[in-house]
Amino acid sequence: MNSNINKTTDAELSNEMRTFYSAYLIDNAAPRMVHDQFGQKHPIPKGGGKTIQFRKYSPLPKALTPLTEGVTPDGQKLSVSTVEATVRQYGRYIEMSDMLQLTAVDNNILQATKLLGNQAGATLDTITREVLNGGTNVQFAEGQVAARHLLTGGKSEGNHYMTVDAIRRAARYLKTQNAEKIGDSYVAIIHPDIAYDLMNDPQWQNVKTYCDPKDMYAGEIGRLAGVRFVETTEAKIFKGAPLSQGASALTVAIAAASGSTVVSVKETLTEADAAALAGRDVLIQGKKYRVASASAGTGGAATLLLETPAVQAKEDKVYPGEGGAEGRAVYSTLVLGDNAYGVTEIEGGGLRHIVKQLGSSGTADPLDQRGSCGWKATRTAERLVESFMVRIETTSTFDGEAN
């Protein structure tokens, strides 16, 4: 019997299997990286340090001076500005025992790689998402209100849900800023809850009616008002955590008609609740206040100390202040023009798949009991031109399911 047959279950993975697992991890990560696909791509050069430099060119002014016959005018200089960002490293791994690997080593590595790929994609996408949602151009619904905490929903009328007009307003802004389109349209990154509210409009076009599959963006679902929409459950949601372990909102126990910085609440606050409330924003009678500190207690003895006085009526609700009115979830829809931001690429310096065999740790694993499978990536993202992106903030029909 030939004892030199090479098998994928050998203790040492072949280069071919390593390549397969690496590609498998990237294939599982890429679909989750919706927020990356519309930015400038800059690979991280080997030995190039930790700082990535994104470049942007200033537009040339109008040439309104007539040419003089026979005279060659002066040439023009390009104006290039740079935006720098420092990359950081991220990664996680799964350890597998020798007993686990004795049964089906490749299946275990394959399943671990799939899970790690999903984790890597979601992690790197979130890093870019948070950078984009820090943009300065914010449109609250159709512009009816001036702040996030004033956005309402769940009422018989006056809800600040996503509308065609809100999209048109954002697209109009990008046009006034001379933001170039991405291909033939501006692009919006939208949450499924918001897409549901928007897709009821008769002007909505399903992606299959205007686009070949090969030309679709990852996650693309449709088009409206000159904007193509890409859907992801990872779209940003602004919603405050519950104010205590027992209640999402609190109830004022003692009225303060002239205003007071002390708010007594009926609910029980534990020491952990009180510590977590310090520094948080809350809403009382629709106005936002910052909690300086809180005291544990029960039956009206629990208190919040605000930084500024608040008029309070007994039974008023105290809501989390990070979202919309009455603590409602607020969803971000990013409407993007070309070259609005930059990111590092997945391949060629970004995402790596790492498999360590049993015993590869040397004396740290003297009995060859542990192997591992993991990922590592360097990542940065940077907003390049603030005026080339708009964040529309709205509420949704599905507030109770937002997370």
Q: What is the CA radius of gyration of the chain?
A: 27
CA distance 288 to 119: 36
Q: Chain centroid to CA 331: how far?
A: 11
CA distance 116 to 241: 28
Task: Work out the percent of the chain whose per-residue pLDDT is above 90.
Answer: 57
CA distance 202 to 217: 23
Residues in the chain: 403
Contact 318, 267 (CB under 8 A): no
Distance between first and last Cα of the chain: 59
CA distance 114 to 112: 5
| Residue range 15-58+80-133+342-383, CATH number | 3.30.2400
Residue range 358-379: mean pLDDT, rounded = 80
Residue range 159-185: mean pLDDT, rounded = 96
CA distance 403 to 400: 9
Residue 128 zone, left/alpha/beta (φ > 0; ψ -120 to 50; rest): alpha
Residue 121 CB coordination number (10 Å):
26
Per-residue pLDDT tens over the stretch 131-157: 999 999 999 999 999 999 999 998 888
CA distance 325 to 323: 7
DSSP string, 8-20: TTSSSPPHHHHHH
Q: Where are the domains of the chain?
A: 15-58+80-133+342-383, 139-238+327-339+386-401, 250-321
- pLDDT greater than 90 at residue 162: yes
Whose CA is closest to 295, among 268, 313, 316, 317?
268
What letter does residue 216 receive in the DSSP assignment?
P
Q: Which pLDDT band holds residue 402 (cuts at 50, 70, 90)?
A: low
Q: What angle do CA 123, 126, 130 make, to 5 degrees?
A: 145
pLDDT at 243: 96
More confident residue, 59 or 62: 62
Q: Which fold has domain 139-238+327-339+386-401?
A: hypothetical protein PF0899 fold (3.30.2320)
More confident residue, 90 or 358: 90
- pLDDT greater than 50 at residue 353: yes
Helix (H/G/I), strand (E/B), else coil: 380: coil
pLDDT at 349: 57
Whose CA is closest to 35, among 113, 117, 123, 115?
123
- pLDDT greater than 90 at residue 358: no
The H-assigned helical ranges of 12-97 are 15-29
Contact 285, 311 (CB under 8 A): yes
pLDDT at 226: 92
Q: Is there a shared CATH topology between the 15-58+80-133+342-383 domain and the 250-321 domain?
A: no
Q: Which pLDDT band holds residue 6 (cuts at 50, 70, 90)?
A: very low
Q: What is the pTM of this model?
A: 0.86
Per-residue pLDDT tens over the stretch 320-342: 999 999 999 999 999 999 999 98
Residue 30, classified by CB atoms within 10 Å of its CB into exposed (0-12), middle (13-18) or buried (19+), is: buried
CA distance 389 to 170: 9
Residue with tokens 């008002």: 225
Q: How far is CA 122 from CA 226, 235, 237, in A?
A: 28, 11, 15
Per-residue pLDDT tens over the stretch 174-218: 999 999 999 999 999 999 999 999 998 899 999 999 988 888 998
Per-residue pLDDT tens over the stretch 76-99: 888 877 788 888 889 998 887 776
- In this structure, the strands spanning 88-97 and 370-379 are antiparallel
pLDDT at 270: 95
- In this structure, the strands spanning 80-86 and 51-57 are antiparallel
Beta bridge partners of 336: 187, 389
CATH architecture of 250-321: Beta Barrel (2.40)
